């Protein structure tokens, strides 16, 4: 099956305090989106790339692809208000094709070829997987007031979810078809949709890396820039 890199680039810069969506800010000489696309473009097992972006930034995205000479980008499509709308936009493009979807947040620009490799290899024997790293901090769960400790789960079984997440396209499509009939449907990531609506599918955990962080806050910029520059040495 083809391996399709699905780059979700529809987020805003609200928490970053930027008027420009964070995937378009420049770090270490390139836009965040360009850094991420470069890693997918050069990966020999990625067959093609689709970018899902806010409709107001399609031209900017096309210009980045043109200037950087990305040959694997075959589709640039508008997303929606919620993250899952962007996944649905990608699914719609590949609805007639059975393929592997390697779904990645554009703002995790430190993703490596090794991480992508791990996801693709996992999809050879599993229908769904997610990149994650073991939690190094104790996690507590509050009560409904969010003021008092309700539970402290066993840290040994807790992981921090990253992307990319990988799916056989037919499995993710079937999960969303069920989800969209649920009036209480809500999602923050695609593995959650598969886990809830297709619990018979085992989602394999693939090894992430601690520095595969998501650009979220202004303080993240300097950290990411230093990591990028160290990788380029």
CATH number (domain holding residue 71): 3.90.550.10
State the Cα–Cα distance between residues 135 and 150, nearest whole angstrom. Answer: 19
pLDDT of residue 233: 61
pLDDT > 70 fraction of the chain, expressed in percent and rounded:
96
Would you say residue 190 has pLDDT above 80? yes
Q: Which residues lie closer than 8 Å to 187 by C-beta, 6 or more apart?
A: 82, 83, 84, 179, 193
Confidence of residue 231 (pLDDT cuts 50, 70, 90): confident
Q: Average pLDDT, stretch 140-153?
A: 95
Of 204, 208, 178, 177, which is closest to residue 191 (Cα–Cα)?
204
Confidence of residue 80 (pLDDT cuts 50, 70, 90): confident
pLDDT of residue 229: 84
pTM of the model: 0.94
The residue range of the domain holding 180 is: 3-232
Would you say residue 193 has pLDDT above 80? yes
Of 202, 207, 127, 224, which is closest to residue 164 (Cα–Cα)?
207
The token pair at 145 is: 């007031």
Q: Average pLDDT, stretch 87-108?
A: 96
State the Cα–Cα distance between residues 53 and 61, nearest whole angstrom. Answer: 8
pLDDT of residue 11: 72
Of 12, 171, 34, 7, which is closest to residue 89 (Cα–Cα)?
7
The domain tally of the chain equals: 1
Q: Average pLDDT, stretch 155-177?
A: 96
pLDDT of residue 27: 96
For helices 169-179 and 190-197, the axis angle rounded to 10 degrees is: 70
20-68: per-residue pLDDT in tens? 899 999 999 999 999 999 999 999 999 999 999 999 999 999 999 999 9
Would you say residue 16 has pLDDT above 80? no
Q: Average pLDDT, stretch 97-117?
A: 97
């Amino acid at each position: 099956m083809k391996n399709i890199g699905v780059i979700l680039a529809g987020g805003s810069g609200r928490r970053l305090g930027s008027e420009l969506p964070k995937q378009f800010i420049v770090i270490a000489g390139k836009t965040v989106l360009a850094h991420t696309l470069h890693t997918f473009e050069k990966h020999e097992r990625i067959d093609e790339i689709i970018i899902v972006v806010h409709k107001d930034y399609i031209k900017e995205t096309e210009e980045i692809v043109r200037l950087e000479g990305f040959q694997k980008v075959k589709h640039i499509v508008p997303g929606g208000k919620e993250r899952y709308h962007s996944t649905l936009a990608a699914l719609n493009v590949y609805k007639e094709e059975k393929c592997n979807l390697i779904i990645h947040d554009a703002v995790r620009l430190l993703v490596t070829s090794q991480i992508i490799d791990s996801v693709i290899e996992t999809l050879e024997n599993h229908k769904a997987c997610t990149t994650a790293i073991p939690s190094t901090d104790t996690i507590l769960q509050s009560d409904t007031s969010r003021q008092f400790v309700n539970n402290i789960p066993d840290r040994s079984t807790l992981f921090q979810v990253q992307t990319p997440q990988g799916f056989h396209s037919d499995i993710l499509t079937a999960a969303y078809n069920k989800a969209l009939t649920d009036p209480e449907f809500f999602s923050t990531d695609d593995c959650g949709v598969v886990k809830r609506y297709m619990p018979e599918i085992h989602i394999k955990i693939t090894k992430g890396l601690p520095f595969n962080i998501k650009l979220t806050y202004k303080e993240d910029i300097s950290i990411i820039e230093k990591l990028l520059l160290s990788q380029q040495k």
